Amino acid sequence: MSIASIDVHSHTLPQAYLDALSELGVDPVAEDGFPTPTWSEEAHLRFMDETNQEFCILSISTPHIHRGDDSVAARLARTINDELAAVCRRHPDRLGFAAMLPVPAVGASIEEARRGFDELGALGVKLPSNGNGIYLGDPALEPLMAFLDERAAVVTIHPSLPPAVPQGIFTAGPAPLFEYIADTTRAVLNLMAHGVIDRYPHIRWVVPHAGSFVPAIAHRLSGISRVLVPAGLMEPINVMDNLKSLYWDLAGDARPVMLEGLMHIADPTHLLYGSDTPYTPTPITLANKEGLAEDPLIAPIAQDVFYGNATRLYGLSR
């Protein structure tokens, strides 16, 4: 049996979300070039038993539901969050959720975040790297950032397809291979470069997939900032301090290269386990989990990475 864990990167495809995509005319396979898995409450609980997940934090993956109409996105987010909350109420000792917000509809997102926390029992919120082309860090989202800071919210970033993708190349197809990783990186760099992480220090940001490309270019950004800041092209920030404040999940194929890079920039108490189920099949999840637990970089801190860090971040009583 693998090590017991709290899974912070665990997806759900409730009927309300599937209905939303249908209403919007969105075909996720055509849009993201990746198979859409099936999901059910019962199958998810079986997955948890098979992989020794004591608790899962559910969130919606991608495609995002804002397609240009704020009111439609707000209505769909509300319906989806109601269903997520209902699932979690049936299994309070095993499941929690991060509420979906209809960004970039700022007012509706604040309202839905407040409702998620105060009425539905959400443990955090999920924000796409970009919502209908508006990236995290954009000044248009400042009121939402201020609200999330006031609530000391845990904010999970999830990659979304960027507004434009070069065509005729392999990476234009399977978005999870490159575009998701690149878009997460764009969003994190935008947050830092616009001073959002400094201005709103109470937001607990969770960056997915072992930091995406962020670890690989962190020191490059630090170096470039010393040129851009004096030229007035970037706000003064301490790049490495910003990175130390972030949380990082280890979903996906983190070992060996991405994990090693991440360990150079991350606070070890901010590392979290994630499975990326059901987009990652269970046998691969098990292999990845066992590999992480045995990795010499993780083994000495495995209990915290798989369990303790998430317990403290989300205030879970385990």
C-beta separation of 45 from 94 below 8 A: yes
Helix ranges (H only) for 33-123 are: 41-51, 70-90, 106-115
- Residue range 219-233, pLDDT digits in tens: 999 999 999 999 998
Any idea which residue has 């769909």 for tokens?
Answer: 76
Q: Return d(Cα 272, Cα 220) in angstroms, integer.
A: 25
Instruction: Inform me whether the pLDDT recorded for 318 exceeds 70.
Output: no
CB-count exposure of residue 139 (10 Å: 0-12, 13-18, 19+): exposed
Report pLDDT for 235.
Answer: 85
Residues 6+ apart with CB under 8 A from 37: 13, 278, 279
CB 305 within 8 A of CB 250: yes
**Domains of the chain as residue ranges with CATH:** 5-314 (3.20.20.140)
Cut 0.95: pTM above it: yes
Alpha-carbon distance values, 122 to 8, 96, 107, 110 (Å): 13, 7, 18, 14
d(CA 94, CA 158): 22
Alpha-carbon span 73 to 101, nearest angstrom: 9
pLDDT tens digits along 134-152? 999 999 999 999 999 999 9
Stretch 14-30: mean pLDDT, rounded?
96
